Structure 1
């Protein structure tokens, strides 16, 4: 497979009479864009707001992030999800870099939603504070889940994808400012020089814990709860084959933007043919029952060994129950003779004193930590709130609370907040963005 990303670097976003891209400036006709959002009759209210790096702005509850793109030659940027199923990972896709579509609840949040600060102390906890963000602030008539802690957020998430496709079309006919090329030969057709290098496979453990459809990550539109570990080409995964689900404490979640721009995958590509032979990606799952966990670990190890992998990187979307899947996968790979490095966050409690992962094993002796989900964070008030600040406390966001007997309310009267890292939108960045780690005393 050969994939080319034609990149356009967005330096500024503004509203205007025409949706266009010119000299680093993305101009959006707001009414046209909102008409795309409102194609779903379940959208009852919608607005677009721009959030820029350095703004004294807080955004909550954030549900999803998507990079605007356009597939040259036709076809959706999310095959099997927003349109007909087709192969991703071949051809050319144009990308608006340096910006994202953020899907934000106008009122209602939930366990899986998070917070972004565009400046100040909070900005360092999330990658999205560095981007020019088009915030789709919307509400729906999905009354059945408004006050549910777990929300599918379907209408809002799909609206975000449609908006990203609408914006991506502005560069359909333009010449890219930069072209990135990603190409891997079939595993058995590589040169002797490449074959002689250490062979490495990348294992992505996607969130799939919910047995009811509508919550989990999707692969070509397929609910990951129903999949078994599968070998895939990395190009597919960077080119829209995966979309984020609506489950998992938010700092641990992988947004669709993260899937589209997976830094670990890109670094493996950079090293391919130089220091390693990058075999590809094994997509695995994170289910609930112990037998399911063990079965998936055995599948992963068998695929890696059959491919001839010398080493593996395992990345886990989540923590808690999924830690058992994560450790089981690392252990089975090691038992199969595949040297393995794991990447995950930890849940060591607010005092940092608890066991970091639910499951541990002596064979899991090389783990990269992306920080403690329970770390307490205090943030000052912001001049502007996009969405609804009270959602952090009222709606069961994983890092906020209505009232704590010792700490008081998560949202204070002056607009300052105290919360756990849990509520930072995709803050732990296990796919490779993370700037955090644990400190060993």
Structure 2
């Protein structure tokens, strides 16, 4: 497979008469964009904003982030999800770089939603404060789940994915600033020089725990709860084969933008043929029952061993119950003779004294921590709020609360907040661009 991504670096975003990209300036016709969104009968109201790094803006409840892209051959950006099922990972797409489309609830939030500060102390906790963001704030007629703590957010998520492609259409026929090329030879057809290098496989454990459909990440439009561990070409992940779901405390979440730009995949690509032989990706899953967890780990180890992997990197989306899948996978790989490193966050409790992972094993002796979901964060008021800040306290966001007998409410009368890192939108970045580090006392 050969994937080419033509990059258009966005210097600024403005609203104007015609959606276009000229000299680094992305201009969006707001009315056309909103009319496109409102074609979905489930969307009852919508507004579009532009926010940039340094803006005194707080965004909550954030549900999704997508990089605006368009495929040159006319295939849907997210096959099986926003359009017909077709292969991903081959051919060429054009991408608007340095920007994301954020999907935000106008009123209702939930367990899986998060918060972004575009400036101040809070900006350091999430990658998305560094981007120029197109922000879709909308509400839906999905009354059945508005007051539910756990939401599928189906209409809002689909609206964001489709709008990201709609906006990117303006660069479909333009010449990009640069073209990134991602190509791997078939595993058994590689040169002798490459075959001599240590062989490495990346194991991904996207969110797939929910047995009821509609919450989990989707692979080619297929709920990942149905999946067994599968060998995939890394280009498929970078090219829209998988979209983020609507489950998991938000700092642990992998957005669709994260999948499209997966830093660990790109780093492994950069070392392929130099220091390693990058075999590809084993797309695994997260399960509920112990037998299911052990079965998936057995599948992963067998695939890795059959591929001839000398080493593996395992990354989990989530924490708590998924830790059992994560550790089981590491142990199974080590037992198969595959040296393994894990990427995860941890949950040590607000006092830092709890066991960081639900399950541990002495064979899991090389783990990179990407942050503590329980870390308390206190932030001053922000000039502008997009969405509804009260959702952090009222709607069961994983890092917020209505009231605490010691700490009080998460959202105070003056607009300042206190919350756990849990609610920072994709804050821990287990996908590979976390800037967090350890601190000794």
With the shorter chain as reference, the TM-score category is over 0.9
Q: 1:372·1:438 contact (CA, 8 Å) conserved in 2?
A: no
Give, in whole Å, the separation in 1 of the partners of 2:11 and 2:128. Answer: 14
Q: CA RMSD in A?
A: 0.6
Question: What are the residue-to-residue correspondences of 1:410-425 with 2, within 5 Å?
Answer: 410-425=410-425
Deviation at 1:440, TM superposition (A): 4.8
Question: What are the residue-to-residue correspondences of 1:188-337 with 2, within 5 Å?
Answer: 188-337=188-337
Deviation at 1:74, TM superposition (A): 1.0
Deviation per CA, 1:216-271: give whole Å up to 9, x if none.
00000110000000000000110000000000000000000000000000000000
Residue matched to 2:377: 377
Q: 1:113·1:423 contact (CA, 8 Å) conserved in 2?
A: yes
Residue matched to 1:154: 154
Residue matched to 2:44: 44
Give, in whole Å, the separation in 1 of the partners of 2:438 and 2:330. Answer: 20
Q: Which secondary structure does the structure 1 equivalent of 2:59 belong to? A: strand
Q: Which secondary structure does the structure 1 equivalent of 2:64 belong to? A: strand
Deviation per CA, 1:375-432: give whole Å up to 9, x if none.
0000111000000000000000000000000000100111000000000000000000
Deviation at 1:155, TM superposition (A): 0.3
Deviation at 1:35, TM superposition (A): 1.3
Deviation at 1:438, TM superposition (A): 3.5
Give, in whole Å, the separation in 1 of the partners of 2:36 and 2:213. Answer: 25
Q: Which secondary structure does the structure 1 equivalent of 2:274 belong to? A: coil
Give, in whole Å, the separation in 2 of the partners of 1:192 and 1:39. Answer: 55
Question: What are the residue-to-residue correspondences of 1:356-395 with 2, within 5 Å?
Answer: 356-395=356-395
Deviation per CA, 1:21-68: give whole Å up to 9, x if none.
011110000111011111210100100011110000000000000000
Deviation per CA, 1:361-383: give whole Å up to 9, x if none.
00000000001000000011100
Question: What are the residue-to-residue correspondences of 1:17-32 with 2, within 5 Å?
Answer: 17-32=17-32
Alignment gaps of 5+ in structure 2: none
Deviation at 1:127, TM superposition (A): 0.3
Q: 1:56·1:382 contact (CA, 8 Å) conserved in 2?
A: yes
Give, in whole Å, the separation in 1 of the partners of 2:438 and 2:318. Answer: 17
Deviation at 1:73, TM superposition (A): 1.3
Q: Which secondary structure does the structure 2 equivalent of 1:207 belong to? A: coil
Q: Which secondary structure does the structure 2 equivalent of 1:258 belong to? A: helix
Structure 1 residues 117 and 280, CA gap change in structure 2 (3 angstroms): same
Residue matched to 1:76: 76
Q: Which secondary structure does the structure 2 equivalent of 1:285 belong to? A: coil
Q: 1:99·1:133 contact (CA, 8 Å) conserved in 2?
A: yes
Alignment gaps of 5+ in structure 1: none
In the TM superposition, structure 1's runs of 4+ consecutive aligned residues that sit over 4 Å from their partners are none
Question: What are the residue-to-residue correspondences of 1:399-438 with 2, within 5 Å?
Answer: 399-438=399-438
Give, in whole Å, the separation in 1 of the partners of 2:41 and 2:204. Answer: 35
Q: 1:252·1:429 contact (CA, 8 Å) conserved in 2?
A: yes
Paired residue total? 441
Q: Does 1:141 align with 2:152?
A: no
